[in-house]
Amino acid sequence: MLRAFFPTPPPKPKAPELVRQYRSFGGIQAVYRHASRITGTDMEFALFLPPETRPRPCPVVFWLSGLTCTWANFTEKAGAQRAAAELGLILVCPDTSPRGLDLPGEHASYDFGSGAGFYLDATVAPWKRHYRMETYLIEELSELVFAHFPADPKRQGICGHSMGGHGALTLAFRHPGRFHSLSALAPIVAPSEVPWGQKAFKGYLGTDRADWRAHDACRLVAKSHWRSEILIDQGLDDEFLTTQLRPELFEAACTRAEVPLTLRRQNGYDHSYYFIATFIEDHLRHHARLLGGA
User: Is-catalytic flag, 233?
Assistant: no
Q: Of the residues 238, 283, 286, 287, which is catalytic?
A: 238
Tell me how crowded residue 13 is: count the other CB atoms within 10 A of its CB. 15
Q: Of the residues 271, 283, 286, 287, which is catalytic?
A: 271
- Given a contact cutoff of 8 angstroms between Cβ atoms, the answer to whether 251 and 53 are in contact is no
Q: Is residue 4 part of a domain?
A: no
Pick from 115, 127, 109: which is nearest to 44 by CA?
115
Q: Is residue 12 part of a domain?
A: no
Tell me how crowded residue 236 is: count the other CB atoms within 10 A of its CB. 11
- CATH number at 122 reads 3.40.50.1820
294, HSE (Cβ side, Cα atoms, 13 Å): 14
Q: Is residue 5 part of a domain?
A: no
User: Is-catalytic flag, 270?
Assistant: no
Express each pLDDT in 69-90 by its tens digit: 999 999 999 999 999 999 999 9
Q: How many domains does the chain have?
A: 1
- Given a contact cutoff of 8 angstroms between Cβ atoms, the answer to whether 229 and 259 are in contact is no
User: Is-catalytic flag, 271?
Assistant: yes
Report pTM.
0.94
Q: CA 137, CA 85: separation in Å to the nearest integer? A: 23
- Given a contact cutoff of 8 angstroms between Cβ atoms, the answer to whether 245 and 194 are in contact is yes
Q: What is the mean pLDDT of the chain?
A: 95
Residue type, 260: P
Express each pLDDT in 100-121 by its tens digit: 999 999 999 999 999 999 999 9
Q: Is residue 216 part of a domain?
A: yes
Q: Is residue 1 part of a domain?
A: no
Q: Of the residues 24, 162, 181, 183, which is catalytic?
A: 162
- Residue-number span of the structural domain to which 64 is assigned: 17-291
Express each pLDDT in 7-53 by its tens digit: 555 678 899 999 999 999 999 999 999 999 999 999 999 999 999 86
Pick from 127, 261, 135, 77: which is nearest to 187 by CA?
261
- Given a contact cutoff of 8 angstroms between Cβ atoms, the answer to whether 61 and 91 are in contact is yes
Answer whether residue 231 shows pLDDT above 80: yes
